[in-house]
A and B are shown apart, each in its own frame.
Chain A
Amino acid sequence: MHIAVLAKVVPDYLVPSMDFELSNNRAHERFSRMLGLYDENAIETAIQIKEKTSGSLTLISYGSENDIQFLRKGAAMGADQLILVKGTSDDAAVIAGNLVTALQSIDNVDLVLAGQQSADMDRGVVPGILAQMLGVPFIPQIGYVDHENGSWTVTQITAQGKRELEFSGPGVLSITSIPENVPRIPAVRAIFAAKKKPVIKLESTDQKKMALNELEVAIPKIECVCEFIDVEDPGQAVRILLNRLNEERYL
């Protein structure tokens, strides 16, 4: 069993909105970089499958060489090797195309997992495009993954409920977070072992971009206007607050 996980190194996704700022239309460089939120869930899910099936796990990323230090965490968690396709594009089709190249450079991938959306662009489209390029099924928002008798049973989890699906052969899943795939804190000897795991660096290849142009990037300006509801009774205060929120069209 060989599983590939697509992961992206992103700027801190928990920067408080009051503190968030842009530079060159992207999150400011001063923010710490780290593995994407859902990407860690995908890695954890993949490790659990790997442990159950005695398989192997490859972590694939598209980004800069500087990202390797953060990708190592995935190796410390349990990935056997890293592949980095060096590139700087934000275009989902370009990223997907390059990830396909990386996937094709390794043999016999049985399953591809990705986080349900990246923690910076929040699009969630790359794995879908990639699945289409590979010609395999794509199922988003997956929580549980089981492998039995050569086929996969997966559970899709949405805000409304869940749906169980089955497929055989390779496929691409985007993984959501569930209590069972909380990313592990790597053990110390795994952190040291990860330093010795192979890192394959690939040059990016020309891919067809999506036919769109970025015109503007803006973040909401946050203003604090403080208004006291000067009433003793909490019930009364809540009523006034609700009225005010309605008046201002926040609700």
Chain B
Amino acid sequence: MPRIPYWNIDYGIIIDLLAIPVAIVFFYGLYQQWLLIKQGKMRVIPSIDNMIQGIGTFRLKAFLVRGILNARLYRKPASGIAHGFVFWGMVILFIGTNLVILNILFGLPVFSGGFNRWFMSFMLDLAGFLTLVGIVFFLVRRMIPPDRLRLPEARKGFVPVSGLLGLILITGFVTEGARIAAAAGSLEAGAFVGNFLASNLISPALAFEIHAVTWWVHGLLSLGFVAYIPYSPLVHIVLAPVNVGFADPAPNVKMGVMDFSAFENEDAEELPALGADKLADFTRKRFLDFSSCLWCGRCQEVCPAYNTDKPLSPKGVIVTLADRLASGKLDESLIDGISMDAIFNCTTCAVCMEACPVSINQPKTIMRFRQNLVMEQSRIPELMGKAVASLEQRAHPFFGTGSGAAEWRKDLDVPIFEPGQTEYLLWIGCSVAYEQRAQKIGRAMVRILQKAGTSFGILEESRCTGDPAKQMGNEFLFAEIAQQNIEDFSALGIKKIITLCPHCFNSFSRHYPKLGGEYEIIPHGSFIKILMDEKKLNLVRKDQLITYHDPCYLGRRNGIYDDPRTVIAGVGGLVEMPRHRNESFCCGGGGGNYWAEELGSRINQQRAGEAMETNADTIAVACPFCLLMLTDGLKKHTEETKVFDIAEIVDASTV
């Protein structure tokens, strides 16, 4: 016998009618969220790539993959699957409920035949059951929360809303069981949970009464639940996919460049605030970040600063901002509450962003505070201040270096870039020129290029891209240095640049085009791979085990994971560290922290230890800063010299 709507229920239509005010309360709640987010500044809209990728700044692929399919959640299998049960279970139950409404309104024949058996009975029971399993998992986990959820603060409101949902599911099942029990003996094909309850727990004598009560309880609780969603942490159902869709499509933090022209303009009435000190200085996208955050702590769990007892937690920063947003304190200074130490401890490695299931850009928020400290308040840790001052005075941040500009190429015949004749500029950068250990990278790369017969040249005097200034929050100095470089490159007619440092690569490829400098940029590891592919290098593969440390600015920031690995596989056996590729752990030197008196324990020692545990003969890097940090970090574990740049490894393996 097909199911009859409102069976055993008088005035059941009331539930359907109540859906109208519930929808109003629901959408009013969402409107309130919009009002909160709307207080942020409008962001500068980046250009649209194409309609297939997205509409305006809204990216459809990210929305679907990360927002709807929640791809990143499954990196933690237990909570990922539990969330999958609840999310997909509720999606199916929502579809089922709507089908019932269509049946009532238009007589859609959903309660008959195979569809009734396999979807309306079996599938909905399965969905409800799995949702319940997921909810039990989450409730138990809230009772014994892992540190990432508990520290520095747990988000309130999950337990009541999860409990409510659990109750709705239980009353749903009891209603179903009672309905089946009332039919006295004839079970409903496919409804395995309802059948179980009807056969074992619900007495047919009481079935009618139980059904009448739980039907109403289930219906009313469900409506209450829907109305409550925008006022509870479950609002993430809406906010999280939207936040993901609006996230910047370029991999990881993209700080953009700043326009300082208003400061030059004598008539400018109001000068823009540089960076952010208070909530009102942030954009709507950041407001959406703060509202979307579930406080799950996945960012904090992977953060190199947090994991070495520094005062920074990316979750802590977002939580502070979310709290302020909720309490409407838009104009209160935030920096001292978060602490200057925490703000400068960020290595900008972006592993937090990589871990975030809802695509929050934590480093960008932290960097905005840093920009404000440096450019508005003249506050910067002492060593970083010296590096920035040196960058301004000498065009490189290595104050106190024992090397002159040409020392790295002493006794080496290195061609100078000749306009119109040389093809590639080999960009040496600051560390390779001025830091003694890193100088060997430059020498190795020169030898490789000469062996391969590449047309290349260097600038007479090495200098910096300005990137360290940018990372330390001094966007103004970065812009000045970058503009000078662009001017000089134009004069020399430079079009193709080989970089030795991922920070230079990132600066040239991400930020220089915005300032008018468009070049073909290729990191040295990728260039070596091309030379290998073209059989221009005579490599000898040695019996050596090499582990590769992914530099944050090459890997996570620019998605270059394979080229350096291919190069390494060409000269030895590659062995991976537990955290590699997009999950790689920072060397500790990013975000200007090469020039830091590190608080807590040392990030580089932790990472070097991880590399040691692979039993590799050599620890390969593709970044001079990683080279310096890990060389230093390794001293805690061994006296051996094991850290080398891929250029050095290739150079030693070429004949």
Residues of A at the B interface (CB closer than 8 Å) are 12, 14-19, 32, 34, 179, 182-192
Contact = CB atoms under 8 A, between A and B. Distances in A.
B376 A187 contact: yes
B402 A182 contact: no
A132 B474 CA distance: 43
B404 interface: yes
B495 to A, nearest CB: 28
B393 A32 contact: yes
B376 A188 contact: yes
Contacts of B374: 185
Contacts of B404: 15-16, 18-19
B376 A12 contact: no
B389 interface: yes
B476 A191 contact: yes
A34 B393 CA distance: 6
A187 B395 CA distance: 19
Given A16-B403, A182-B382, A187 B377 contact: yes
A242 B403 CA distance: 26
Given A19-B407, A183-B389, A192-B263, 14 more contacts: A14-B394, A14-B401, A16-B401, A16-B402, A18-B407, A32-B394, A183-B385, A184-B385, A185-B374, A185-B380, A187-B376, A187-B377, A187-B378, A189-B274
A18 B403 CA distance: 7
A63 B378 CA distance: 28
Contacts of B385: 182-185
Interface of B: 260, 263-264, 271, 274, 374-378, 380, 382, 385, 388-390, 393-395, 399-407, 474, 476
A179 to B, nearest CB: 8
11 contacts: A15-B404, A16-B403, A17-B402, A18-B407, A19-B403, A19-B404, A185-B380, A185-B389, A185-B474, A188-B476, A189-B274
B264 to A, nearest CB: 7
A189 B274 CA distance: 9
Contacts of A17: 402
B279 to A, nearest CB: 21
A192 B407 contact: no
Nearest to B378: A184
A34 B390 CA distance: 10
Contacts of B406: 19
**Chain A CB within 10 Å, residue with most, of B382, B390, B393:** B393
B394 to A, nearest CB: 5
Contacts of A187: 375-378
Nearest to B461: A30
Nearest to B406: A19
A184 B405 CA distance: 27
Contact of B378 (A12, A32, A34, A185): A185
A192 B264 contact: yes
B263 A32 contact: no
